[in-house]
Amino acid sequence: MIRREHRRFTGAPKRDTEWNTDLSDGCTLVPDRKDMVHCCVEHDRRYWLREGSRSDADAAYRTCIIEAGRPVLARVHWLGVRIFGWLFWNT
């Protein structure tokens, strides 16, 4: 598993391997909540594979958190990934 401290400063790991869930650190820079960590892992997967656009990945992340019953957190997390997600998308 990738250590949170590594991803915090260097962005996403190099794509010299295929995606697997061990490449995700869960919810980067925020606490992993049991009811929505699967949303964070899926968001990491979309960033890793560059599925669609970054905007699409972030919108799917927000929708997943809303569906997990956390609409207020969805807005906060969505703003976070829209502001800082380019650091991870562009690596």
- For the stretch 2-37, pLDDT in tens is 444 434 434 445 566 677 776 777 787 777 788 889
Question: What count of other Cβ atoms lies within 10 Å of the Cβ of residue 72?
Answer: 9
Q: How many CA within 13 A on the CB side of residue 25?
A: 15
Write out the E strands in the chain: none
Contact call for residues 36 and 64 (beta carbons, < 8 A)? yes
Q: Does the pLDDT of residue 53 top 50, yes or no?
A: yes
Please enumerate, as own/partner, the contacts of 38-41 that have beta carbons within 8 Å and a separation of 24 or more.
38/64, 38/68, 39/64, 39/65, 39/68
Radius of gyration of the chain (CA): 12
* pTM assigned to the model: 0.76
